[in-house]
Amino acid sequence: MSLEIQNLHVRIEEREILRGLDLTVRKGETHALMGPNGSGKSTLANTIMGNPNYEVTEGRILFNGEDLTEADPDERARAGLFMAFQYPATIPGVSVANFLRMAVNARREEPIKVKEFGSMLGENMELLKIDRQFTSRYLNEGFSGGEKKRAEILQMAMLKPEIAVLDETDSGLDIDALRIVSGGVDALRGPEMGSLIITHYTRILDYIKPDFVHIMLDGRIVREGGPDLADTLEEQGYDFIREEVAAADAS
């Protein structure tokens, strides 16, 4: 069970952003994808989830061996992919609880029973330290940055995806919100879910230790390693990676 990205080239209008990217994330693995602003990280996340504004010009996206390169976003979600967005959408008039019930039912053949849904929701809210009144509020309406991210992690907990893509989940969070959200993500780790954490800071990795770290520059992955690679990046910044890439290209 895996998400496999093969030689992916993506452009917006006439500008190529991803330039031959390869990446595999398997169930049970936690990957961190790091890179400076403009390196193509969010483009990759949006392409994985089928955002129509991003045109795949070459390469494939495979999920459990099935080619999803041209699949609609809802098909990808039903297959078991999940995306936590950098800027989650606001849905006035739809409570968090109703949204979660609709999301859960979209992946089931029969609607979830009220008692089962309530029990599942309660367990996951306790896991994420979320007050029960939170679910009666309209989704993301008037939410702080931390509340928006917490709502997405709650959705992830309820949907139990096979692969979760977290696009800069740490963006805009204060230290307390980061600790709670990271703790929730870490609590959901296990053999049944793989995750791809996209960030340009190392601070979230203080709470969620990845199995693999990938460094992205100019639309491609240029360096891979274990958790120690993130530590090196924290100490030296991206310049040492740029120098390595420049030297390799010159040779």
- What are the pLDDT digits (tens) for 105-131? 988 889 999 999 999 999 998 887 788
Cβ atoms of 39 and 216 closer than 8 Å = yes
Under 8 Å between Cβ of 3 and 81: yes
Distance separating alpha carbons of residues 128 and 150, to the nearest angstrom: 8
> Domain residue spans in the chain?
2-250
Mind listing the pLDDT tens digit for each residue in 202-230?
888 888 899 999 999 999 999 999 999 98
pLDDT for the residue 242: 86
What is the predicted pLDDT for the residue at 86? 66
Query: pLDDT above 90 covers what percent of the chain?
Result: 51
φ/ψ (deg, to 5) at 32: -110, 130
Report the CATH number of the 2-250 domain. Answer: 3.40.50.300
- Which residues lie closer than 8 Å to 170 by C-beta, 6 or more apart? 178, 181, 182, 199, 201, 203, 204
Task: Specify the pLDDT at position 63.
Answer: 94
pLDDT of residue 45: 92
Q: Which residues of the chain have pLDDT under 70?
A: 86-87
> Comparing C-alpha atoms, which of 76, 66, 181 is closest to residue 130?
181
How many Å apart are CA 6 and CA 172, to the nearest integer? Answer: 32
Beta-bridge mates of residue 216? 221
What b/e string do you get for 137-168 counting C-beta neighbours within 10 Å, with b at 16 or more? Answer: ebbbeebeebbbbbbbbbbbbbbbbbbbbbbb
In 3-state terms, what secondary structure has residue 224?
Answer: strand
Give the model's pLDDT for residue 19: 95
